[in-house]
């Protein structure tokens, strides 16, 4: 298949590109490089520097493609509170532009990168795809819910094939966000630099950490699906954040101080996925353990002197 990957110069997108190419697909990467890095784009892929708000460019690129994997969005929760208009324009309007361009070009399959944040504060654990979407605490979460809704609308109105992937907590090599707001890269970089590790809620939150290679695999398995599908992507195992920190210390063989950041508004106490649906329907399951994933992540940051 010939696949357009939006946001393909980012952390997750770059891993998805490599897997698609290794499976024999043709890949076009579209990224405006506002957050991504062209160096992360596999040389076998065609790269186009463009913005989803550029309707003319989308109309030029999309014809001849069979599917779109849509990962282009602003993701920093704190920044979304400061810049709600920018997040709305980039994430929501960009997605609608993309869907319209797909419709006009006859490309009617989209795999959308969503987030477990759409569930808000869960009523029960593990979270299943049938659970109601929760009250959102920040503009980022609202944009993800709205992007999902537009994808589903185009399924109903125009018979798009829509696969929505709700990520839990991805981590792994190649995560170079600036600013970095995700826990594991911040923990690893602080530990390698022997500076205090920033820790909210004393690390008592429970999260479902999914290694990037396992997450990437969840994007290629649904390429032949038709209709509307929603899948959680997680390990079904909740881990206390403080236990992740201790595992990093164990791997490194030393400890560094903890920087108690106190409470953080908008955080939920526990997030754990049920991945039963994607296991049953697509045969997907995570293969990389948290410890092995942390070892690979530490080696990446150590090798790149971050």
Task: Tell me which residues are annotated as active site.
Answer: 140
Burial of 190 (0-12, 13-18, 19+ CB in 10 A): buried
Strand ranges inside 100-242, DSSP E: 109-115, 161-167, 169-171, 197-200, 206-207, 209-211, 228-233, 239-240
Number of H helices, E strands in the chain: 11, 13
Buried b (16+ CB within 10 A) or exposed e, 236-245: bbbbebeebb
Burial of 132 (0-12, 13-18, 19+ CB in 10 A): exposed
Q: Let me know: does 91 contact 112? Beta carbons within 8 Å.
A: no
CA 60 to centroid of chain Cα atoms:
26
User: Please, which residues bridge with residue 26 across strands?
Assistant: 2
């Amino acid at each position: 298949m010939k696949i357009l990957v939006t946001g393909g110069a980012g952390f997750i997108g770059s891993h998805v590109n490599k897997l698609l190419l290794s499976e024999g697909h043709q890949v076009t990467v579209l990224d405006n490089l506002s957050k991504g890095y062209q160096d992360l784009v596999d040389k076998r892929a065609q790269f186009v520097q463009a913005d989803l708000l550029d309707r003319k460019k989308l109309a030029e690129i999309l014809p001849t493609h069979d599917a779109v994997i849509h990962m282009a969005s602003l993701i920093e929760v704190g920044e979304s509170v400061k810049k709600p208009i920018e997040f709305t324009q980039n994430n929501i309007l960009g997605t609608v532009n993309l869907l319209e361009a797909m419709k006009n070009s006859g490309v009617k399959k989209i795999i959308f990168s969503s987030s477990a944040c759409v569930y808000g504060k869960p009523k029960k654990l593990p979270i299943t795809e049938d659970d109601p979407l929760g009250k959102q605490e920040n503009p980022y979460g609202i944009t993800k819910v709205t992007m999902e809704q537009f994808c589903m609308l185009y399924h109903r109105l125009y018979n798009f094939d829509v696969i929505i992937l709700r990520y839990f907590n991805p981590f792994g090599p190649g995560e170079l966000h600036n600013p970095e707001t995700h826990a594991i890269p911040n923990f690893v970089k602080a530990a390698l630099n022997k500076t205090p590790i920033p820790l909210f809620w004393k690390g008592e939150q429970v999260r479902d950490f999914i290694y990037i290679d396992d997450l990437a695999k969840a994007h290629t398995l649904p390429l032949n699906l038709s209709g509307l599908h929603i899948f959680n992507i997680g390990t079904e195992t909740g881990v206390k954040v403080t236990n992740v920190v201790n595992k990093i210390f164990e791997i490194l063989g030393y400890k560094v101080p903890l920087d108690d950041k106190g409470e953080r508004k908008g955080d939920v106490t526990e997030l754990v996925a049920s991945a039963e649906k994607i296991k049953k329907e697509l045969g997907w399951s995570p293969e990389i353990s948290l410890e092995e994933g942390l070892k690979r992540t530490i080696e990446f940051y150590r090798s790149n002197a971050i």
